[in-house]
Structure 1
Amino acid sequence: VSSCHKQDIQQIKGRIWLGVEWDDPQRGKHDGTYEGTQYFKCRHPRGGSFIRPNKANFGVDFLAAVKDRYGLNDEQDVQRGTENTLVFGKTVEFVGMDSIAEQQSQLNQLVDISVRECAVSHAGQKEEISRTCANIRHINLSRNLISSWETVTAIASQIQNLETLNVSENKMKFPSTSTSVSGVFSKLRILALNQTEIMWTEVLFCAPGWPALEELYLTSNNITVLERPDNVLQTLKLLDLSDNQLLDGNQLHLIAHLPRLEQLILRNTGISSIHFPDAGFGCKTKMFPSLKRLAINDNKISQWSSINELDKLPSLQSLQCHNNPFMDTEKNPETLRQLIIAKIGQLKVLNKSEILPAERKGAELDYRKIFGSDWLAAGGNWNPEKNKPSEEFLAAHPRYLSLCLKYGAPEEGELKGRQPLTLKNQLLSKRTEMVKRVPSSMTIQRVKGLLYRLLKIPGSELKLSYESSKVS
């Protein structure tokens, strides 16, 4: 079943036709023009059609859809008493049908209702929903025939404790001016408006009516431009803008001061860079103060500098960043993961995989060694008074100095470049046994440095083991 919206009623060549625009433009044939006359306008140049009125389904009211979905409509109720059936020529009475119908008909006990794809188009008689379904808290109204936010409000106004509402996949008209604050959505915490063609300005017009909203889903709405949400959406904890082609990463600055925003989902939004200009190297930005989880999968981020910028976020703990061009710069997925971990100091989860303390330590130590030669070439020095690497180096490696403070500057024997993963570099050659005495106070890192000088094998490629001479 395909859905569309009525645009016009016309008499063409003596017959009545409905001019409609399909939600799926591929179902259409034209833009509302027939034989040179434009009868209505479409958003898509081939999204319109004319259909006969008897072929159209104009939908049902909300309560009728609920009764039908949960097997409680009036026609079925009549048939749900005691049933008599012939079995082998004898009449057999099936009892219990009344009790089943009675149990199912307790509409006022329903809390979580889904009427997805039930052709709901209007609210129905006033107060009928509140009299019949007083305890609803969660509603799925997605993929119906709702054409305006006004209809959604008419349904919600009869549900006092509504907490979750999904009206995705309904092409709707939304208020074009700021709406007056009412108590209709006073308890609403989760709202899904995916594929509804809502614009960000319309979100802001409606937002004063969502004073307790915590999660807002706005995927696939052709949103390109954002505006600062002044005095609205201040309770928001999750915002999903996936599959909207934002003009650029600077659009994020306009929503960067939502005080409680903990999760931001930006999959396939077309952004190519992320930048927080209010904070310098090694400093934290004032933007997104509460952001813990960020998803930037399937974008156009090509420079590692955007990953460096994410270290400026004061609360970031989880990052998803698959399918971005910058990831193609490193062929080894393990090395790629290490680089991201080392660049974002407070990260605890990367691409849905937990970062354990040992993995972080290893990543940071390797990062310190891999770029040690670059650090020296840029003006770095083991003498703290002379350690003044260039601004260019600090821009490329903002955490490098802090890693040196954490683990100590890399010794000359630890410095290494990135080695290609060729078979030659993975082969072990036969070596004679070597015995060396070392003080018990020597750290593992210094042992690795010593072994490098003796064996010319980078510390990251060594496998050390210790066997005590004392037998317990």
Structure 2
Amino acid sequence: MDSSLGTRISLAGNTGTVRFVGNVQGTSGVWLGIEWDDPTRGKHDGVHNETRYFNCSVPNSGSFIRPTAQNLSYGVSFLQALSAKYVEQLHGAATQEKVILGSSNGSIEVEGPHLDKIRKKLARLDRLRDVSLDGERVARADPGDTVRRTCSNIRNLDLSHSLLPSWDVVAAIVAELPGLQSLALNHNRLQQPSDLAKMAASFQHLEELQLNATLTSWSAMLDVIRYTPKLRFLEMGYNYLTHLENNLVTSDAMGECVLQSLNLDSNECKDWPAVCQAMQIFPSLQRLLLSSNGIAQIPYPAEGQSEILQGLHHLALPSNLLCSWSDIDALSRWCPGLKTLALGLNPFVVGEAHARYSKQITVALMPSLVILDGVNISAKERVDCELFYLSYVAKNGFQSHLSPADYPRWQELCAKHGEPSVVTNNHESSAKLSTRLIGIRVYQYSEPPARTLTVPTRKPDAVIQVLPTMTLRMLRNKIGKSLKASRKTAFLWILLDEGTTTVELSKDEDGHSLDWLGIENDSQLVLVLG
């Protein structure tokens, strides 16, 4: 196959795009300039001896190879890849065949009759609904309507890590799959479409699209959405996105966009107000994932600001750089209807000064929240968190020479629960808060305890002070930190019948609160670290 600019190639398992074809000064013969999908495979940016031959989207992802390099592949057609993976060749006219059971590690061999009949039934490509051709080097469509006649019932298709050169080729394949609903194109490098009519006709029924690690720009993604009127789920992670520019795009230009979920994991969208502004063209958006984007601050929206995400119900912000509780209060103003939130591995969550209060204060600051970091928030737990917040603010507000009224939600929660007495007497409030805590005695054993156990008479290895609304999962973590064994799994048993009967607290109960499980003040737990 002749190389041309934009052609996709595979060499020894590495995929790349041809960016240059021709002579290189100081050498003989023709070279191919390749931009590798994996930048660590590259050696330069397309510059040799101070002469630029091509450009790379990612720094140092380019190198030169010969068109005759061993193991160089230009890929196969869609149906060739499909048949190679899903059709086993017939073995001939033999009525009996010996086969090795896959689960026996080659130790069991059995005879099977007429296995070719079974192979023929399994080779019915027209019955396929879920197809994965990830890494199968698909590079081109098949002529005519051969795809439609062969496998028109495909609903979910994965073409990740392929050699597809452009959206035109993708559209040519998808046009033959009228029932396609989900398409994965991760780790491809697709040129913009030239046949817009084909694009408009090919993606009418697509509901889910994955474009992770494709270097697709924000504007190119918006162009694709215009051709997918039923698209509800879109993934755009690992695309080096920094600015989500919508200057030339309006909701009217996008048509009736029904996108509900957008994944922007591991990009560089650091500007929170700019992100909110960009989301305005998606009126149906309910779920937004912004993990690992380097977001360091969420400012309060300006009065009357229109870029409020009223319909957003689910937000993921783990592994960012948020370090202030004001970020969380501001977040509740941007997303007033937020129901679920993920915040793990942000500085204010993992830092020692705030980690012990992170859940209570986050719950108190976000009145609409029902799930935080995957754990349900019960009505009783919300009350406890809000009361804790009032006491915490009253005490620490004075210590930092601030009035408690300077803290967010203070007036609203005072109206709901009453002003805590700690405003005038810190000692009294601390005593009041301490009455809500329970003490749990923990005894560490080296082996799981028997069903019946002699009452421990030794001093407990730890006494944990917690709120009764804490979940069992959080208690396991707290015990691990207390005993400096946070990297080990804490297996727990509760001692009943005055400390003689052990009942295991299983992982299935981790989402329940301690009071729901019957763990109260002076409860005794047996701990085994594993």
**TM-score grouping bracket, smaller chain normalisation:** 0.7 to 0.9
Q: Tell me by how many angstroms 1:368 deviates.
A: 1.4
Question: Judging changes above 3 Å, is the alpha-carbon distance between structure 1 residues 8 and 308 closer, same or farther for their aligned structure 2 residues?
Answer: same
Residue 181 of structure 1: how far off its partner (Å) = 6.7
CA–CA distance in 1 between the matches of 2:50 and 2:245? 40
Cα distance in 2 for residues equivalent to 1:414 and 1:82: 92
Corresponding letter in the other structure for 2:115 = M
Is the Cα contact below 8 Å between 2:277 and 2:307 reproduced in 1? Answer: no
**Gap change, CA 1:85 and 1:102, over 3 Å in 2:** closer
Of 258, 261, 265, which aligns to 1:238?
261
Aligned to 1:96: 114
Unaligned runs of 5+ in 2: 1-12, 100-109, 432-436, 440-519, 523-530
- Which structure has the larger Rg? 1
Greater displacement, 220-229 / 261-270: 220-229
- Please name the residue that 2:22 is paired with: 10
**1:320: Cα distance to partner?**
0.6
CA distance change for structure 1 residues 34 and 418 in 2, over 3 Å: closer, same or farther?
farther
Secondary structure in 1 matching 2:22: strand
**Aligned residue among 269, 282, 294 for 2:315:** 294
Structure 1 position 273 matched with structure 2 position 297: yes
Q: What root-mean-square deviation, in Å, do the aligned CA atoms of Structure 1 and Structure 2 show?
A: 3.5
Change (3 A) 1:247 1:410: closer
Q: Which residue does the alignment assign to 1:454?
A: none
1:411 matched to 2:421? The reply is yes
- 1:42-121 to structure 2, matched below 5 A, reads 42-54=56-68, 55=70, 56-72=72-88, 76-77=89-90, 79=91, 81-82=93-94, 95-121=113-139
How many residue pairs are counted as aligned between the two chains? 403
How far the C-alpha of 1:163 sits from its partner, in A, is 0.5
After superposition, the C-alpha distances for 1:95-142 in whole angstroms (9 at most, x for unaligned) are: 422311221221111001000010111112232111101101100111
Which stretch shifts more, 180-189 or 236-245? Answer: 180-189
From 32, 35, 40, the counterpart of 1:26:
40
1:175 and 1:181 mapped to 2: Cα distance?
7
- Residues 178, 206 of structure 1: 8 Å contact kept: no
Alignment check: 8 A CA contact 1:143 1:167 kept: yes
Deviation of 1:464 (Å):
8.8
2:15 aligned partner, one-letter code? S
Q: 1:28-87, CA deviations, whole angstroms, 9 ceiling, x for partnerless residues?
A: 223334445443333345322222323310001111111111134xxx24x355367799
CA distance in 1, matches of 2:48, 2:320: 41
Task: In structure 1, give the amino acid aligned to 2:341.
Answer: L
Match of 2:183 in 1: 165
C-alpha distance in 2 between matches for 1:260 and 1:81: 58
CA shift in 2, pair 1:109/1:426, >3 Å: closer
Shift of the alpha carbon at 1:331? Answer: 3.3
| Aligned-partner Cα distance in 1 for 2:217–2:39 | 19
More strand by percentage: 2
1:254 aligns with 2:270: no
Looking at structure 2, the residues matched to 34 and 286 of structure 1 have their Cα atoms a distance apart, in angstroms, of 48
TM-score relative to the length of structure 2 = 0.68
1:337 aligns with 2:359: yes
Kindly provide the amino acid, as one letter, of the partner of residue 164 in structure 1. S
Structure 1 unpaired stretches of 5+: 380-388, 420-424, 428-462, 466-472
Structure 2 CA distance for partners of 1:104 and 1:155, relative to 1, 3 Å = same
Distance verdict in 2 for CA 1:21–1:86, change over 3 Å: closer
How has the CA–CA distance of structure 1 residues 338 and 10 changed in structure 2, closer, same or farther, with 3 Å as cutoff? Answer: same
Matches within 5 A, 1:403-442: 403-412=413-422, 415=426
Report deviation, 1:14. Answer: 4.1
* SS of residue paired to 1:311: helix
Task: Confirm whether residue 357 of structure 1 aligns to residue 367 of structure 2.
Answer: no
Mapping 1:172-251, distance limit 5 Å: 172-175=190-193, 182-228=200-246, 230-231=250-251, 232=254, 234-251=257-274
2:324 paired with 1:303: yes
CA pair 333-270 structure 1, distance change in 2 beyond 3 A: closer
* Aligned-pair CA distance for 1:366: 1.4
**Contact persistence 1:177–1:205 (CA under 8 A):** no
Identity over aligned pairs, percent: 31
Return closer, same or farther for 1:332/1:101 CA change in 2, 3 Å cut-off.
Answer: same
Q: 1:404 to 1:376 in 2, by over 3 A?
A: farther
Contact 1:81 1:97 in 2 (8 A): no
CA contact 1:29–1:47 (8 Å) conserved in 2: yes
Q: What amino acid is the match of 2:295?
A: I
